Structure 1
Amino acid sequence: MRIAIISSPRSGNTWVRSVLANSLDLQEIAVHNYLDAPAELPPRCIFQIHWYREPNFQRFLEENHFKSVIIGRHPLDVLLSVLQFIRHEPATSQWLLGNAEIPLDLAGQSPSSDAFTDYALGWGAENLLSVTYQWWHDQRALRVKYEDLVEGSSEKFARLACALAGETPRARLDESLKRFSFKYFQSLPNHHGWAGRAGLWRQLIPTRAARAIYTRHRRLFDVLGYEVPWTWTTRRQATRNWDSLR
């Protein structure tokens, strides 16, 4: 059994990979470029990557008999998590071979800053968010929402494991969820885990900026099924919330 986790960065990919790998006894492989995958793939493995839905990669997945899992997450929460993660992980420059175009001076900025809004409205953010958007159209893939996994971890993961492996190893699954909690990822040297909460963007991104980002990437939001209602969060409030959270 081979499983591929393919989604935009900061969508919960590593969390899902770790839980499924431990639950289903799969060898873990994570690369930035599918060409860097081992020449001889293990018969039981779970493969994590952020990569476009393009013919060569699709052929690679098909020839190696992968089942694909795509994780959808609210794009504004994805961008927030990116902003936090780049402060600790320099390897983010390798996402999509650099096509995420994350400026060096973005690290350390707040979600209420002009620098964050400018990035979120730009081509690099579109590239980053487009990974999940592109794969969401793959009718053969299993599509799950990050928010659903967070709210009902055990039951949602059990359904996912059953769909992938035809079984639900509940005892092993519960142990995996306990082992790979958000506290575990927060303890890693690169602070891979952060808040792990759905809808945090409502408190941290000023409403006008949030609406502008939604308008810029509306097709993506609509296909994934996410909305951006007015929150009336001002820039001052967002900055205060960010400082408090950090």
Structure 2
Amino acid sequence: MNSATIRSRGFAGITATRWPASAIFPTATDEHKETDVGQIIWIASYPKSGNTWTRAFLHNLFRDPKLSFNINEMTLLTANEAAASNFAEFDSRPWEEWSLEDVARIRPQVQAALAGSRLHTIFCKTHLAVLKVRDHPTINLNVTAGAVYLVRNPLDVAISYANHQGLPLDRLIELMNLPNYETPNMEGLVNEPMGSWSQHVQTWTANPNPGLLVMRYEDMLASPVKAFSDLAKFLQLDAPRSRIERAVKNSSFKVLRKQEELHGFHEKTAAQENFFRSGKAGEWKDVLSEEQVAAICNAHRDQMARFGYLPEGF
């Protein structure tokens, strides 16, 4: 895929809007008029950067259960934009017959339908970069209210993503460094143009916007209550600290991993032994070779420097 086919769009041009927290889970008394159109708040990230953790926190914050909310029911709050079932609404052929052009063409309609499925706001998980692909935008800004973008040190991402995909580290690093990289259509999931790691980060974060919150995975690990309190504030949720602390506890790595051990997790790939594998920061120091570190740093120097990820010597 060449640069003439995929062009950077940048996360710009949206207007921050107020989204009623009560609308996330509409009650039976809500009146949904035909003229009402919801909007999407994206939970966006390069893979293995804290997306699942963030969605688990939001579920526990909104539901406020005594015990951790079921990780296999997260689609009740956060839709997966790339789910093939969303696209099947617009193309009834078997997914194996869909071309990448078909997916690119349908994608804005899928996102509009997801937005329209709720009275006010819907959270959508995505690993898309903000690009124009085959003359179609990956992100439909007309139905976008805002976004939470999660960024993680690519040196650690490489280890976790290689495990997730069942690929050798060297091959995964090649894919992370590949401009305009796209995942293929596969059973249950459609193609996602992600670009390289730097391309992904740049398209979401290069243009500061009041409708965009950028969260570093490492800050979430170091101070989860503060990080998720900032998220609640960004979403204009008047949540007491005790409720945030409870949601943080119920979405901790330890709790999520225990849930997976007991009940499984439908987002785990066939290549993985566990979806919730480590969740640590700095694992790369013990796992990656000098050559692998150099390959990542040399490819992503500018964006790594922006977020404090560049090791000494680079």
**Fold shared per TM-score above 0.5:** yes
From 127, 132, 140, the equivalent of 2:201 is 132
Whether 1:171 aligns to 2:242 is yes
Change (3 A) 1:175 1:139: same
Change (3 A) 1:117 1:52: closer
CA contact (8 A) 1:149 1:156 kept: yes
Whether 1:214 aligns to 2:297 is yes
**Percent of aligned pairs sharing the same letter:** 24
CA distance in 1, matches of 2:47, 2:108: 15
Aligned residue for 2:230? Answer: 159
Residue identity opposite 2:231 in structure 1: L
Between Structure 1 and Structure 2, whose CA radius of gyration is higher?
2
Once the two structures are superposed, what CA deviation does each residue of 1:186-216 show, in whole Å capped at 9, x if it has no partner?
3244232221111111111012320232112
Contiguous gaps of at least 5 residues in structure 1? 88-105, 232-246
Aligned residue for 1:99? Answer: none
Secondary structure of the equivalent of 2:43? strand
Secondary structure of the equivalent of 2:195? helix
Aligned residue for 2:124? Answer: 47
CA distance in 2, matches of 1:44, 1:164: 11
CA contact (8 A) 2:177 2:196 kept: no
Change (3 A) 1:148 1:184: same
CA distance in 1, matches of 2:174, 2:125: 29
Q: Which has the higher helix share?
A: 1
Once the two structures are superposed, what CA deviation does each residue of 1:26-74 show, in whole Å capped at 9, x if it has no partner?
822112266544442322421111112136345x24x335221111111
Once the two structures are superposed, what CA deviation does each residue of 1:68-110 show, in whole Å capped at 9, x if it has no partner?
11111111111111011123xxxxxxxxxxxxxxxxxx2xx3x
Change (3 A) 1:28 1:117: closer
Aligned residue for 1:28? Answer: 78
Q: Which has the higher contact order (CA 8 A, sep 6+)?
A: 2
Aligned counterparts, 1:1-246, within 5 A = 1=19, 2-24=40-62, 27-32=77-82, 35-37=109-111, 38-39=113-114, 40-42=116-118, 43-54=120-131, 56-58=137-139, 60-61=140-141, 63-87=142-166, 106=167, 109=168, 111=169, 114-123=170-179, 124=181, 127-129=195-197, 130-140=199-209, 141-186=212-257, 187=260, 188-189=264-265, 190=268, 191-229=274-312
Contiguous gaps of at least 5 residues in structure 2? 1-18, 20-39, 64-75, 83-106, 183-193, 269-273
Aligned residue for 1:239? Answer: none
CA distance in 1, matches of 2:173, 2:123: 35
Q: Between Structure 1 and Structure 2, how many residues are aligned?
A: 206
Secondary structure of the equivalent of 1:68? strand
Once the two structures are superposed, what CA deviation does each residue of 1:212-241 show, in whole Å capped at 9, x if it has no partner?
32112223323333212369xxxxxxxxxx
CA distance in 1, matches of 2:109, 2:156: 29
**Alpha-carbon offset, residue 119 of structure 1:** 4.3
CA contact (8 A) 2:178 2:196 kept: no
CA distance in 2, matches of 1:67, 1:49: 13
CA contact (8 A) 2:60 2:250 kept: no
**Alpha-carbon offset, residue 117 of structure 1:** 4.8
Residue identity opposite 1:224 in structure 2: F
CA contact (8 A) 1:53 1:135 kept: yes
Residue identity opposite 1:76 in structure 2: L
Change (3 A) 1:121 1:135: closer
